[in-house]
Structures are given as structure tokens and as C-alpha cells.
Structure 1
Amino acid sequence: MVRSDLTAPLGMNKRRGIGRLPLGLIGVAIMTVIFTTGFIWISIVDDPNGGEPMATIKLSSALDGVGPSDIEIVDLPDGSQPSVIAAEQLDASGTWQENDVGQNSGDGVSRPRSTALENPASGPTPLVELVRSGDLTGLDGGFSSESLSTEPVEQLLEPNKFGALPMISAEGVRPLDAYARRPNPATLTQARIAILINGIGLNSDMTMKAIEDLPSDISLGLSPYGDDINSWMKSARLSGHEVLLQAPMEPFDYPDNDAGPQSLLINLDEKQNDERLSWIMGQTSNYVGLVNFMGDRFTSNETHMRELLSKVRDRGLMYVDDGSSPRSKAGKIAGTQAVPFVQADLVLDRDLNAQAIGTQLLELETIARQRGIAVATATAFPVTLDALETWSQRLEERGLSLVPISSAIKSSR
């Protein structure tokens, strides 16, 4: 009799072995093995490019044919500082001799490293080349495209009991050359306006407003009496503002009206005024020049102005006459002594109200269109800063552009 499922003993029709396992269970087991193997492989083998086509080439460390002009300073992603070395000098045999690298001296004066780039093949890039190329604007690292360097260049510092004074380097580089903000070349074909806002550092709220809200092409005049003037200088230049330093000078109604304890006075001799000037210039660094604070009596004295302007020139700085005194001799003397000089055409906030400031700004635009460039000064008062912020927003639509005050040197009267 043929066996069938009906005649087979109970339970004897069940098949044994793998063939009787459900196919779904077999598939799950296979997939589990594959995923487990892959996970173990990824954990052990650290090669994110595994499986990708690869090629191997031999890199040479030689720098033949690479010159200083082929190297530029770039911002490092981790905020590190670019590698720089102290200035070298070329001896008679043509060998670069390295000087000591500057450090903090402990007297409160920053002695930063030099701006020469380290290039093992061709030696360091001279300071003059860095200034010409504009590389100084990136030496501190972490800057935006608008930022200016905030640390002084060691070759441009002369140690002094008041800190460190600006000086012309052995290569002939002036602080004016190193710290000036370069104008946008596109603006050179337009009517230009240069504005200098003075009194920076005296009031923290107004100082921050000027630094943060005004266009970076507006220059700022730091008061030597300001609190933490070095911090304000760095903040201003980080925002792209070129800075000058105010020099307090004697007004006609002195002593009823006093420009401060370190004012330059006509009853002091040259040595005494030079001592005060050294104190003023030693308060900070990275400024392109001096601008008078008050001083209508002092600037009208030809003898004292000759002494002052010769020192400004010899230290590689520019001088700005703020335009407050028609009796100033600064322009006449600067022309005979080859001093980089700018004469302000008007003071924007001589009358401290919004309507008067608006009228002055219209006059400034007229001068710029007539002569190609116009220069104005003002003080960091709330009404002045508000007026300038609003006025500057649509300046380009009116065919005008802002430039830093140093750009007005060659075009000034």
C-alpha cells in the first residue's frame, strides 16, 4: 500500500534539515551576517576614501623658482597666527642676517614680530614690498576683507619712556605708508569725499557707534586722553577705519578754555613741547598722522608750527588741519617743508543741530563735484553720527564715494 500523509504515523511526515526552514528566516540571517561584517570592517579600517580610485605622486619640497611675490598671508582656519620672523639685513656677502624677534618688553609697550615673511629659499620679503603689496592688512589673522592690521610694525617703533613713538624704517617705510587704508580703485574716477571724525575714545557709547555704524572709509581721530585708547584703536582698525591721533594745542582763550594737561603751548620752548608731543604720540600706535585738537592760537604761530610739522614729517606721519581756524599757518608751512598734509574744507558740526549738519553735507557734496575731492571734519556727537549714517547710505547713487583721509593728501590744496 502506498504511504500517504493520511496513512503515515502522526508526526512522521515532517522533513528534517535546512530545506525545511522558512525562506524568510534564511534571508534575515544572511543580511545580518553581511551588515555585521561591514560594520566590523568600517570600525577597524580608517580609510574614508576606501574603494575610490587612487594615484600616488612624489612631491618635492624644493622652492626653486618661488619668490616672495608668490607667497601671501592667508587666514588660518583655527585662528592661528601666520608664521613671521624678524627683519633681516643683507650683509656685504649677500647673506641674510636675522635679528632678534621682538617680544613684549614688560614696559607696557607691545613689541610684535616683524612683518617679514619666512621663505627658506629666497629670504624674507622686505617690509617695503609687504607695504606695497598690501599684505600688512592680514598679518594679525582672522580679519575680514575690510580689516586693517592692529599690531604695530616693530621696524616702525622707536622706544621711548612714554611707550613707543612712530619712526621711519631703515628701508624708508613710513607709518603713513604701512597703516593707511587703501581706497577702492573704482572710486578714483568719481567725485570723492574724505571725512574725519574726532573725539574717538572719550565716550564709549559714541565711540562704538562711530566704529560700528559709520562706513569704514570714514577715518577716525583718537583722543590721547581716551580710556583704553589701544583697545579703541584696534576696534576701529578691525572695522576697517583708518585712524589718526589728536594733538591738543593751545586755543586763543587759554587758560579759560584748555585742551588738556599735555597741550602744546606757545609759551613753552621747543624741548618742552617736544616732551609733550612724545607723550601724545606714545599713547597708541597704527595711526597715519596727527590732527589738531583746538589750537587756533598755536596753529597761527609760524615758529611753533614749523617745529611741530618738521617732527610730523620726520616721523613719517601726515598732518590734518581740522579747518576750525582761518588763521592757521599749517597749510603754508606744510608746503615748504614737504609734509604730507590735508586741509579740511569745512567742519560739519560747527553748529550742533541736524539741519545745520545737513546743510554742511550738501555743501561738501558741491565742493567734491567742483574739485573732484572734498574734506570735512566733525566730532563724535550723537546728532553728528546719526546724520552721517543716514547721509552715507545712498551716497553712491548720487555719484559720490567716500575715501579715507590719507587719500586726500595729493589732492588737497
Structure 2
Amino acid sequence: MDRIKTLLSPRAALQGAALALLPCLLFYGSLTYQADSTLKALESHLASKTVAVSRDSGEHVTAFLSDTDTAIETNTPEQHSAPPHAEEHVKTAESPPPPPHEEKISMTEHKEPLPPAPLDGLFEKTGAGLLPRISNKGLTPFAAYRKPGLVHKGRPAVALAILDYGLSAEQSSQMLKTLPSPVSLILSPYSADPDGWQKRARENGHELWIHLPSETRNFPSFDPGSRALLTRSGIERNKDNLEWVMARAPGYAGIAVQIDESFTRAHPMLQTLLQDSFSRGLGYFELETSPSGFVESLALKANAPYTQNSFFIRDSSAILREIEKKAQSDGVAAAVLLPTPNNIVILRKWLSTLESKGFDLVPVSALAERNLQ
């Protein structure tokens, strides 16, 4: 009886409970120790992973992934290159799209140079200097000096030409530096170094035309210079001026001249002068935006390359949209820029958008040759 009382005492009950919990505590401690050891063992086998992702922008983004933190480091290709095993960690890596405002300007194109001028057989020596002529084999200066370019059916084409090339050294250098080679350049005969500027133009892949100054409806408030064609001058004086202009430099595809209603009464003299230039195998770029059709008819009869300007680009960029509309409706559009530092920049930005809008940028000769086909 005394033994039963002892077993049922509170002290005995506590001792029994402790003995019963002891195995459970030992088992839990064992699991905790093993789990901690297992975690440390796994961590020792986990190496930090380095993943190199190449972007279109030319940068490499290297991501360091570890158990403690995540860090992103951006470096140039010279500083970091992708590890050989990067593809094992990343199967695909898509580059982020460019910002919506980013322009894809192709003004940094490699400009393929045109052959240096003059080419053998395409000139004759005269008292005025070297004048262009058709070679004995029938090669014309237009065909020899033009920049290759075609108007593709079903795709509108825009031809751009810059007036007064060679007149300002600063602006002319800006043209060569910033504008793509399909842009044609109209060499001023009043340039201090016409031959030097024609060489630079062809070295940069630009097609060249020579400007023939002429009397226009704004004469005499607008003075075309001492070597211009004038209605009041006789045929000999105008012929001398024409030859002086043509002899200023070689390497041009044709003549660019503005003939408006001022020459209506001088058509016989004008016909004689232009027929001489057509017989030399030159193209004709009509700068007048509303011509009478007289010069075009002469060009067609002579089977000479001919095209007409539709727009003068001055200081407003609004005209650029009109050029696009003209090209979309007619298939082609030609425009002439009167250069200033500001509108050369405007033109450059606009040209960078033409391809994405579905337009081809072509040299002036691509339009002028169409009447030969």
C-alpha cells in the first residue's frame, strides 16, 4: 500500500513524464543537427552563377547571382566578355527594344567613292578649258559620272539636290559629313575651288551637277552673277558663259538651270545653247518648279536625260510633307535645298525617316534617265 502511494505521488508523476519525453528530445536534437549539417553541405556545393547577356547596344550586362544578394554590373565589351559556358545557364536572352524616340539614322554609312574625274575620252581641250564630250565609243558624261541608282516600280522615290555646293567651305564640308551619298550636289561655278570640291564630292560618293546661273523673274533684284545667261546678252556672250561654266570642273552628270518665263522671247537663243550641251552627252535638271515645257521638249527631241524640280526647301520643314505626298501620288519627287546650317540638320533628320516610311532616296540622275527608257 505504501508503494502504491509512492508511485501516485506528484513527484513520481513528474519523473515519469520526464523519462517519457527524453527519447523525443534526443530524436529532435538529432534531426536539427543533421539538417544544419545538410544545409551547410549543400551551400558548400552551390557556386555563384555568372551569366553574361549581350545587348544590341554593344554592352554586356553581367549578373552575379548568389545566396546573399543579387547585383547587376554593366561594362563595355572591352572590360568583360561572355564566359564560354554562358549558354549552359541562359538558353535565350532577348535584347530590350530601343526607346520609342530613338531614330535609326543611316548617316554613318560607308560612302563608296565614285571614280575620279575626268575620265579619258570624255573631255576636249578648248580655249575655255576642258569641256565634256561623248567618247568615241558612245559613252556619255551623264552615264559615266552619274551615281548608280534606280527607281523601283511600286515604291515611291525621292531625289534631293543641294544648291550652292562649293560656295561656302563650312557648309559644303557639313554636307559631305552629314548627308547620305544618294543626295546629289549642285556645284556652284563661282566656287573658289570647283575642282577640289568635285573631287571631295565624288570621294564621298555624291553625284554632282553643275549650276548654270540664269536670269529669272526676280532679276535684277536677284543677281545671278557675271557669268549668268541673260536675255539681254547676245548669243556669243551667253555661249562664252555657258562654256566657262562647263569648264569649271569635270565629273558632273549634267547641268542644273532655272529657266522661267523670262526667256520666253529668247527661245531661239536658248535652243541653240541647250542643244550644244545636249550634244555633249549631259543631263538636264530643270530647277524651275513651273516650267513652260520648252526645255523638256528639247531634251526629249535630243534623247537627253531630263528631270524637273518640284520643290525648293528653304527654312520651313512643312514642305517636307508635301514632298512625300508628291512622291506617293506621282511615284517620284525631286526637291532642291537652299542650304543653311539649320536646314541641313532638318534635312538630315527627315532623310533618316524615309526608309521606314516606304520611300527610296535616289540620286537626281535616277529620275533623269527615265525618259531614255
The 1:298–1:223 alpha-carbon spacing in structure 2 relative to 1, beyond 3 Å, is: farther
Q: Do the aligned partners of 1:292 and 1:321 also contact (CA within 8 Å) in 2?
A: yes
Matching residue's letter, 2:123? L
The 1:252–1:145 alpha-carbon spacing in structure 2 relative to 1, beyond 3 Å, is: closer
User: Hey, what's the Cα distance between the residues in 1 that align with 2:288 and 2:166?
Assistant: 21
Q: Displacement of 1:379 after TM fit? A: 1.7
User: Hey, what's the Cα distance between the residues in 1 that align with 2:331 and 2:290?
Assistant: 24
When structure 1 is superposed on structure 2, of 212-221 and 363-372 the one drifting more is 363-372
Q: Displacement of 1:394 after TM fit? A: 2.1
Q: Displacement of 1:347 after TM fit? A: 1.5
Deviations 1:126-173 (A, max 9, x none): xxxxxxxxxxxxxxxxxx761101231120011012220000011111
Match in the other structure for 1:340? 305
SS at match of 2:121: helix
User: Hey, what's the Cα distance between the residues in 1 that align with 2:289 and 2:130?
Assistant: 30
Q: Displacement of 1:178 after TM fit? A: 0.5
Q: Do the aligned partners of 1:299 and 1:329 also contact (CA within 8 Å) in 2?
A: no
Q: Displacement of 1:400 after TM fit? A: 0.6
The 1:195–1:412 alpha-carbon spacing in structure 2 relative to 1, beyond 3 Å, is: farther
User: Hey, what's the Cα distance between the residues in 1 that align with 2:236 and 2:221?
Assistant: 25
The 1:213–1:331 alpha-carbon spacing in structure 2 relative to 1, beyond 3 Å, is: same
- Which of 327, 349, 372 lines up with 1:390 in the alignment? 349
Q: Are 1:264 and 2:229 matched, yes or no?
A: yes
Match in the other structure for 2:271? 306
The 1:299–1:199 alpha-carbon spacing in structure 2 relative to 1, beyond 3 Å, is: farther
Match in the other structure for 2:134? 168
| RMSD after superposition | 2.3
Q: Do the aligned partners of 2:275 and 2:302 also contact (CA within 8 Å) in 1?
A: yes
Q: Are 1:193 and 2:158 matched, yes or no?
A: yes
Superposition map of 1:187-226 within 5 A: 190-226=155-191
Compute the TM-score of the two structures, normalised by the length of structure 1. Answer: 0.59
Q: Are 1:323 and 2:288 matched, yes or no?
A: yes
Deviations 1:303-332 (A, max 9, x none): 233122211210100111113454563223
Q: Do the aligned partners of 2:149 and 2:363 also contact (CA within 8 Å) in 1?
A: yes
SS at match of 1:211: helix
Q: Displacement of 1:359 after TM fit? A: 1.9
SS at match of 2:212: strand
- Which of 381, 387, 392 lines up with 2:340 in the alignment? 381
Match in the other structure for 2:78? none
- Which of 283, 292, 295 lines up with 2:257 in the alignment? 292
User: Hey, what's the Cα distance between the residues in 1 that align with 2:111 and 2:319?
Assistant: 32
- Which of 198, 202, 212 lines up with 1:247 in the alignment? 212
Deviations 1:168-208 (A, max 9, x none): 011111000101100268x5652111111110011111111
User: Hey, what's the Cα distance between the residues in 2 that align with 1:299 and 1:289?
Assistant: 23
Percent of aligned positions with the same letter in both sequences? 30
Larger of the two Rg values belongs to structure? 2
When structure 1 is superposed on structure 2, of 331-340 and 313-322 the one drifting more is 331-340
Q: Are 1:152 and 2:111 matched, yes or no?
A: no
User: Hey, what's the Cα distance between the residues in 1 that align with 2:311 and 2:193?
Assistant: 30
User: Hey, what's the Cα distance between the residues in 1 that align with 2:265 and 2:355?
Assistant: 37
Matching residue's letter, 1:180? R
User: Hey, what's the Cα distance between the residues in 1 that align with 2:348 and 2:264?
Assistant: 31
Higher helix share: 2
User: Hey, what's the Cα distance between the residues in 2 that align with 1:294 and 1:199?
Assistant: 17
Matching residue's letter, 1:223? S
Q: Do the aligned partners of 1:251 and 1:258 also contact (CA within 8 Å) in 2?
A: no
User: Hey, what's the Cα distance between the residues in 2 that align with 1:163 and 1:279?
Assistant: 8
User: Hey, what's the Cα distance between the residues in 2 that align with 1:300 and 1:341?
Assistant: 22
- Which of 362, 365, 371 lines up with 1:403 in the alignment? 362
- Does 1 or 2 have the higher relative contact order (CA < 8 Å, sep 6+)? 2
Q: Displacement of 1:296 after TM fit? A: 5.6
Q: Displacement of 1:231 after TM fit? A: 1.0
Superposition map of 1:118-129 within 5 A: none
SS at match of 1:165: strand
User: Hey, what's the Cα distance between the residues in 2 that align with 1:299 and 1:321?
Assistant: 15
Deviations 1:202-250 (A, max 9, x none): 1111111111211100100000001111111111111110000000111
Q: Do the aligned partners of 1:219 and 1:243 also contact (CA within 8 Å) in 2?
A: yes
Match in the other structure for 1:29? none
Match in the other structure for 1:282? 247
Q: Do the aligned partners of 2:258 and 2:286 also contact (CA within 8 Å) in 1?
A: no
Equivalenced residue count is 263
User: Hey, what's the Cα distance between the residues in 2 that align with 1:403 and 1:335?
Assistant: 22
User: Hey, what's the Cα distance between the residues in 1 that align with 2:357 and 2:202?
Assistant: 27
Matching residue's letter, 1:152? P
Matching residue's letter, 2:347? L
